[in-house]
Amino acid sequence: MKKILLFGISILAIFAISCQKQPSATFKMSKEVVDVGETISFTNTSTDADYYGWDFGDGQSSILENPTHTFDAKGTYNISLYAYSENGRKKSLAAASVIVYPSTDLSLTVYINGQSTRVDDCIMKLFLNYTDWLNYTNTVDTGRTDKAGKIIFRGLEPRVYYIDAFKVDIPGYRYLSNWYIGNATNPLKPHVVNNYTMYVEYRLYKGGKKSYKVVKLESQINKHKTTLESSSNQAY
């Protein structure tokens, strides 16, 4: 009797396995060409599958149905999606490639105008146009220069950026600014580090408000027409 029961259970198990459909793995990507650090979304369009496994080709993986991913280095990466049946005995594979380029970066080194002194801890803000720069609206990115007077903004678009630099030198009395020295880059070259030197000058607070009187320097370059000094662009 036990033998008959075990035989029946075995038949049912085989029947259950055979009834499970063969999965078909397919997926879509939000982009096929991206920059380093740019996010890609993956949409799983597989059918007759219960479990999934992703291999992004860079040593990273996921079991989410619809994952996102970023790549930390340039190259061509092979993306694999495995779709499994409920018991895992049936599977299907779909694959595609992603090309990753170096990001477009902007490197700024800040000096006091007319001096070789670099300015550390200087607040730097990026804007897309002159109006936003003038009104301090719609900031694209912000940060502070390091001890060497340098800051790098990463993952930018290859376009013109307007830059504001500001540092309080003596609270309530004196500050450093690029207000009249130049504020716009040239269109950034894509997929390289665009190196620029920026100059700031001492200015004076008056009645608790910013004044445009230069404390030490007399250089008054038209801020509407000048661009920052650009050195050679550094490729990756």
The percent helix, strand, coil of the chain (3-state, each to 5) is: 10, 45, 45
Give first-to-last CA distance, the chain, whole Å: 75
- Work out the average pLDDT over 189-196: 94
In this predicted structure, the answer to whether residue 2 has a pLDDT above a threshold of 50 is no
**Which residue's structure tokens are 């609270």?**
171
Q: Is 76 exposed, middle or buried (0-12, 13-18, 19+ CB in 10 A)?
A: exposed
- Work out the average pLDDT over 18-38: 89
Which of 9-13, 94-98, 137-141, 222-226 has the weakest average pLDDT? Answer: 222-226
In this predicted structure, the answer to whether residue 3 has a pLDDT above a threshold of 70 is no
Helix H or strand E segment including 195: strand 192-206
pLDDT single digits (tens) 109-123: 999 998 999 999 999
Q: Give the CATH number of domain 22-101.
A: 2.60.40.10
CA distance 220 to 150: 24
22-101 and 105-235: same fold? yes
pLDDT of residue 230: 72
Query: Is-contact 83 23, C-beta < 8 A?
Result: yes
Of 166, 201, 198, 196, nearest to 180 (Cα)?
A: 201
> Which alpha helices (DSSP H) does the chain contain, by range?
2-19, 130-135
pLDDT of residue 208: 54
Domain ranges within the chain, ordered by starting residue: 22-101, 105-235
In this predicted structure, the answer to whether residue 54 has a pLDDT above a threshold of 60 is yes
In this predicted structure, the answer to whether residue 231 has a pLDDT above a threshold of 70 is no
User: Which of the listed CATH numbers 3.40.50.970, 3.40.50.300, 1.10.510.10, 2.60.40.1120 matches domain 105-235?
Assistant: 2.60.40.1120
Per-residue CA distances from 143 to 51, 124, 203, 224 (Å): 43, 5, 21, 23
The DSSP letter of residue 227 is B
